[in-house]
Structure 1
Amino acid sequence: MSGAAQWARGGLSIGSVLDLLRPDFPDITISKIRFLESEGLICPERTPSGYRRFSVTDVERLKFVLTAQRDQYLPLKVIKEQLEAIDSGAATLGVREARARAHGTAAVAAPEFGATGTGRAHVVRPATELSAPRRLGVVPGEVSPDEFRVDHEIRMTRDDLLTQAGISDQFLTELIKAGLVTPGAAGYFDTEAVVLARTARALSEFGLEARHLRAFKLAADREAAMVAQIAAPIAKGRDADARARAEETVRELAALSLTLHTSLVKAAVRAALGG
Structure 2
Amino acid sequence: MVLEFEGKHIYALLHLPAGEVRNAPAVLLGPGMDMIKEDYIYAAERYYTSRGMVALSIEGPGQGESRAGGLTVDLTNYERAISRYIDFLTDLTGVDAERIGMFGISMGGYWGLRAAATDERLGALASFEGVTGDFETIFHRAQPTFKNNYMYMSGYVDERRFDTELAGRMPLGDLVTRITCPVLMGIGEFDELTRLEQALACYEHIHAPKQMRVYENEFHPLGGTAAEVFRFGSEWLEQTLVGRWREPGRDERHYVHDDGRTTDGTAQPAWWLGRTPREITEAATAES
Larger Rg belongs to? 1
Report the structure, 1 or 2, having the larger helix content. 1
Structure with the bigger percentage of strand: 2
